[in-house]
Structure 1
């Protein structure tokens, strides 16, 4: 009901379980699938992985009441473009759907904090109360690209990164494309996971500069 009432968003189908979600996504080819995690039969994580594999142009936004690590990281590793908790407000939900449709990344703040906590736990003694949000330095990235990656890790959109770094939005898009190519990463969320050591780069992908509107 929230999404149907939002301007520019059309709900084209609904599914009661993961298997139906996979079939509906293949048939309807939506821009975004809003995916629950706990469903009978095929769960949301498995359904997300199948959609990401078979229909990479379809973006998946995972929505759940659960913020346990295995759900969040499972969804992101499966190829989700974002992870939002069900206590998100109406405006946050609508904005998340639009962001994921545009190739941006959306992560619930609690998930971002937990990602950082896991990294600091692995890398050495740093208090969880004051985690370091900076991604690891990547040797192939320029200083500016590292700055953009750090902003991506904080969940900023291209427009917000442009404002913060005093760049044009088209320049930010170019930087994001180069970051995805150099890591190499499937999308912005995957890039952030790679940068924090929580996921592996894509295999068999060369470092190419990707122009346009990268995911």
Structure 2
């Protein structure tokens, strides 16, 4: 397994590392190859953050290689469009062994396994799955005598944009209130100063 020191430049190693991802290299191989690489640099230069058309697969394997998981902004910023259970169910399915299909991904975990990960029963898992289906973030394909195939879809970018807009509005409102508080304090200070001057004059 080659590491950064085996290449003449970061770009050459990065090309090799991305090929490992494309070839479905084991997580252990990715971890070994990326040993000593700065995490922030790696995340900036692998996948969509560098301007190339990255995929969830690239981000998932990079996350696993460094001992953590990286998700798309759309799922994090889905706001109240998804319940907490639905959001974590999406993540739990995303964690499993899947392959990219355009902008969709597939996995085969059982409801029992999802329940163990989420800490809930099968009935609750079914509720979360139905919720994801109703919002068109999940397709379920039943397979006789096998676990169900799940095909994931990303939340609409509009959800993320709406959530970020609400965050910006909340921030602006807090700033406005802060300015108003400062203005009120300034006014009270001025009035108090005037009152003291009048007392001194008398």
Query: If the TM-score is normalised by the length of the shorter chain, which range does it land in?
Result: 0.3 to 0.5
Q: What is the TM-score normalised by the length of structure 2? A: 0.35
TM, length-normalised to structure 1: 0.33
Larger of the two Rg values belongs to structure:
2
Q: Which structure has the highest helix share of the two? A: 2
